[in-house]
Each structure stands twice: as C-alpha cells, then as structure tokens.
Amino acid sequence: MALRIIFMGTPEFSVATLEALAAAGHEIVAVYTQPPRPGGRRGLDLQKSPVHLSAERLGLPVLHPLNFRAEEDRDRFRAFGADVAVVVAYGLLLPEAILTGTRLGAFNGHASLLPRWRGAAPIQRAIMAGDAETGMMVMKMDKGLDTGPVALTRKVAIGPDMTAGELHDRLSAVGAEAMVEAMAALEAGTLATVPQSDEGVVYAAKIDKSETRIDFSRDGAEVHNHIRSLSPFPGAWFELAVNGKPERVKVLGSTPAEGEGAPGAVLDRSLTIACGQGAVRLTRLQRAGGKQLDAADFLRGTPVSPGTVLS
C-alpha cells in the first residue's frame, strides 16, 4: 500500500522530491508551501513558490498558512489523516503539533552530513569552508533545529571548482532518490534511525548581504571558495571604476591561480587577481543589469588593465 503523505517544501530544491514521491505511487494528500510573495520586475506581482507551481501541475491541493499558530490550521493538518509528513526546505520551524500530526511523524531531507551544517544555508557554507564532500540525509524531525535521528545518508563529492548552483542541483536529485527509498522502507516497517553525534556540530547561518563582498586580502583558496559558494545567487562582488564611477561586478566563476601582488591587483590580461596569499583567476562575471559573460567577453566590453586594483 502507498503512504498517505503531506509534503512540505518551498524552493526549486524541493520540487524533485515532491515529483519523485508522486511518481513512486504515494498518495500526496496535501502540499504545504510558503505563501506567494511579491515579485516580478517591479515587485508588485505575487509569485507562487516553485513547489506551489509543481503541485498545481500534479493536481494536488496546496495550502500556505503563514504559520501554524492558529488551532484551525493545526486541526486541518491533522484532519488529512496522513501517514507521514515529508519536509524539504519548507522555510518554517514546525511546532510539535505538526511534527506529531501524522501517524508516523515527519521526515526531513537535509542537504548536509549532519551534525555538520545544521541550519539554513548548508550548501553555501560547505563550499565556503572548502569541504571536500557533503550529502543528503533523511532525518526524523524533532523540536530542535536539524537535531533528529538520521534514517538514511547519501554522500556527494564537492569538486574543486563546483559552484553552489551545481551542488544544489546534484543534491536535489540525490535527495529525491533518498527520500523515495526512505519512504519505501518506512512503508515496509524497516526504516531504522540512528541518533546524531554530539560532536562535530556546526551551524550553517543564513547568508547575509554583508558577506557577499569579495575580500582579496584573504588567501586565494578562500577567495575562490567564497566566490563559488555564492554562485549564482546572491553572487560575490567587487567594485570597479567604470567611466569614472564605481560599479558592482558579480563574480560567478573563478579558479585558483599563481601570482603575487597587492591584494586586489589585476596581474594580467586574463583577470588573474592577487590575494593576500596566492591569486585567483576570475572566469565568469556580470555587470549590474548585464548578462553573465566569460572573462574574455567581459573584458571586450569592459577593459580592465593590469595594475588596476579591485576593491
């Protein structure tokens, strides 16, 4: 028999799991997602979340309460009579009434090797720290922040130049497969969980705007990790004088390089930039309001001479 599942998720990352569970034959009795938010070019149109749009394509009922403080929202959740709740990047800390509001509890797909990188930005933080691997974990949820016992783990290597966007897509696909496998075991009564270790706990704080400016005084490897951890969004950036005015330029790709000089100094015509130690070569850039360009195309439209200092 298929499980009766309430799915809870919001961004594009969650869509693969929702669609995989539906394709596996489970009965998705309801989809919970964050409410439509202002968006569009002028921020005036209400934009439905990627999960909302996917649920509509699948013909599934969608609910988007602001929170679960109202008793009527909690009652409605329980009234679905679901076997289990599956949560992937929902964007809300769930109260105990929801965690216990199904027959078998709630299971979360989390993009890290817990207990490392609990919290909001595990993909970006793993790359920023220079981790060589991460993964997806299926965890039974409890009242803590990503503290519940782990049911299933899938490891994923982080390539030396892999960006957050590339790792996001890989983990999304791996997470969907893992959750389908976990739900099959749960249905069969064979899903076992193991408590997380009390050692190695690291929190993945949400990325703050103040962190996005590139600090070329850091080690070249750290600068490279910083750039790729924020690519494609929100994007690491520096300021460049264009027609006498400072302009932000996003860097969406880089690679470690050799060279030395004052931090931020342009060392050659291939956009090799000196760092506090070593250097980094910028490979993909974007001016404000412009298209993403490879370094050679960027330089054709925006010449940057050796000796220029980026800040």
Residue 308 lies in a domain: no
Token code pair at residue 42: 């002028």
CATH assignment of the domain containing 231: 3.10.25.10
- What's the whole-model pTM score? 0.95
Question: At 58, phi and psi to the nearest 5?
Answer: -85, -5
* Average pLDDT value for residue range 39-54: 85
> What is the average pLDDT score of the chain?
96
Q: Give yes or no: residues 165 and 70 share one domain.
A: yes
Range of the domain at 158: 4-203
- The total number of structural domains in the chain stands at 2
Residues in a beta bridge with 288 = none
Q: Quick one: pLDDT at residue 242?
A: 85
Angle at 145 between CA 161 and CA 76, to 5 degrees: 115
For residue 40, is pLDDT > 80? no
Q: Give yes or no: residues 138 and 25 share one domain.
A: yes
Q: Give yes or no: residues 183 and 293 share one domain.
A: no
Q: Give yes or no: residues 198 and 282 share one domain.
A: no
Contact (CB, 8 A) for 276 and 219: yes
| Residue ending a domain, choose from 203, 235, 269 | 203
| Residue ending a domain, choose from 171, 186, 203 | 203
CATH assignment of the domain containing 104: 3.40.50.170
Q: Quick one: pLDDT at residue 127?
A: 98
Q: Give yes or no: residues 231 and 108 share one domain.
A: no
pLDDT tens string 281-301: 999 999 988 999 999 999 999
For residue 43, is pLDDT > 80? no
Token code pair at residue 198: 């009390």
Q: Quick one: pLDDT at residue 41?
A: 66
Instruction: Confirm or deny that 114 is annotated as ligand binding.
Output: yes
Residue 79 lies in a domain: yes
Q: Quick one: pLDDT at residue 231?
A: 98
Q: Give yes or no: residues 44 and 100 share one domain.
A: yes
pLDDT tens string 269-278: 999 999 999 9
pLDDT tens string 65-92: 999 999 999 999 999 999 999 999 999 9
Contact (CB, 8 A) for 226 and 128: yes
Q: Quick one: pLDDT at residue 244?
A: 82
Q: Give yes or no: residues 222 and 275 share one domain.
A: yes
Residue 311 lies in a domain: no
Q: Give yes or no: residues 132 and 234 share one domain.
A: no
For residue 39, is pLDDT > 80? no
Q: Nearest-CA neighbor of 219 among 165, 278, 166?
A: 278
Q: Give yes or no: residues 184 and 294 share one domain.
A: no
Q: Quick one: pLDDT at residue 145?
A: 94
Residue 71 lies in a domain: yes
pLDDT tens string 139-198: 999 999 999 999 999 999 999 999 999 999 999 999 999 999 999 999 999 999 999 999
* Average pLDDT value for residue range 114-142: 98
| Residue ending a domain, choose from 174, 203, 232 | 203
Q: Are strands 4-9 and 84-88 parallel, antiparallel or unpaired?
A: parallel
Angle at 189 between CA 186 and CA 194, to 5 degrees: 70
Q: Give yes or no: residues 63 and 93 share one domain.
A: yes
Instruction: Confirm or deny that 115 is annotated as ligand binding.
Output: yes
Q: Quick one: pLDDT at residue 38?
A: 87
232, HSE (Cβ side, Cα atoms, 13 Å): 9
Residue 34 lies in a domain: yes
pLDDT tens string 213-251: 999 999 999 999 999 999 999 999 999 988 888 999 999
Confidence of residue 206 (pLDDT cuts 50, 70, 90): very high
Residue 89 lies in a domain: yes
Token code pair at residue 195: 């408590």
**For residues 20 and 242, which has the higher predicted lDDT (pLDDT)?**
20
